[in-house]
């Protein structure tokens, strides 16, 4: 199968890409034909024959996260020929084998921090003026935005819809509460994916915590271990 990995790596997030690609090679759906679409604001040439660099303008946070599906939608001609597409945040690591369980039309990961919460307090977008709005009576599952994927046709349909909604919100002066994650949850609320456990996006700082009895496969790396603390305090990272 031809599989494309998509990641957005702007500013200091570029430092994570080498590890992500190595982890994918070692642990993610082994034995397939992998390519990567790297969207970045860094001036760089193609890393290798199987990595396409898509240059995006340098934008302040939260635009790189909020518009990730706009960047993907802009590359739909390149992406449409793959069998499966998976979007990873750049700052993740894959620590155990991920196999055929992710070969579905669309997969999403149940958010580890929300997994044990009552759905009535999930942080959905509650402003009716936003295209990400979810009414109280429609609360269901809450998904993490850091890993999502599926069959290319299904994934690209989702990306196009979310990109259009983000653009509409922008025209109306609205930024969804949790940016792309709010829009992803709206889409999944309407089009339920195959739900993966928090094992597939497990916070590094919770490993070994008895309250979260999940065996990590994909890990959200702890930013504090990698980034400048002053910039974190100033909200310059997402």
Residue matched to tokens 């930013």: 223
pLDDT value of position 227: 56
Strand order across the beta sheet in which 218-220 lies: 92-94, 218-220, 202-203
Q: What is the pLDDT along the chain (238 residues), one digit of tens a residue?
A: 999 999 999 988 999 999 999 999 999 999 999 999 999 988 876 677 899 999 998 778 788 888 999 999 999 999 999 999 999 999 999 999 999 999 999 999 999 988 888 888 999 999 999 999 999 999 999 999 999 999 999 999 999 999 999 999 999 999 999 999 999 999 999 999 999 999 999 999 988 887 788 999 999 998 776 655 444 444 444 4
DSSP 156-199: HHHHHHHHHHHHHHHHTT---TTTHHHHHHHHHHHS--EEEPGG
Distances (CA, A) of 19 to 60, 206, 221: 24, 20, 11
| 21: its two tokens | 């690609």
CATH second-level architecture of 2-233? Alpha-Beta Complex (3.90)
pLDDT value of position 43: 81
- Global pTM reads 0.91
Buried b (16+ CB within 10 A) or exposed e, 1-15: eebbbbbbbbbbbbe
């Amino acid at each position: 199968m031809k599989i494309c990995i998509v990641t957005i790596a702007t500013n200091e997030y570029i430092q994570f890409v080498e590890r992500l690609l190595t982890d994918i090679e070692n642990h993610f759906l082994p034995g397939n034909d992998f390519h990567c679409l790297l969207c970045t604001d860094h001036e760089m040439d193609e890393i290798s024959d199987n990595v396409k660099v898509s240059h995006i303008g340098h934008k302040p946070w939260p635009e790189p996260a909020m518009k990730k599906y706009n960047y993907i939608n802009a590359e739909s001609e390149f992406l449409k020929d793959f069998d499966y597409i998976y979007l990873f945040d750049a700052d993740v690591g894959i620590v155990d084998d991920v196999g055929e369980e992710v070969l579905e039309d669309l997969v999403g990961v149940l958010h580890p921090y929300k997994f044990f919460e009552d759905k009535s307090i999930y942080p959905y977008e509650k402003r009716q003026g936003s295209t990400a709005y979810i009414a109280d009576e429609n609360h269901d599952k809450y998904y993490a935005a850091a890993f999502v994927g599926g069959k290319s046709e299904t994934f690209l349909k989702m990306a196009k819809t979310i990109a259009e909604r983000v653009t509409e919100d922008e025209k109306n002066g609205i930024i969804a509460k949790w940016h792309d994650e709010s829009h992803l949850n709206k889409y999944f609320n309407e089009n339920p994916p195959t739900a993966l456990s928090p094992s597939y996006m497990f916070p590094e700082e919770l490993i070994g915590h008895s309250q979260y009895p999940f065996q990590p496969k994909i890990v959200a790396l702890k930013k504090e271990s990698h980034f400048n603390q002053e910039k974190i305090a100033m909200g310059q990272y997402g």
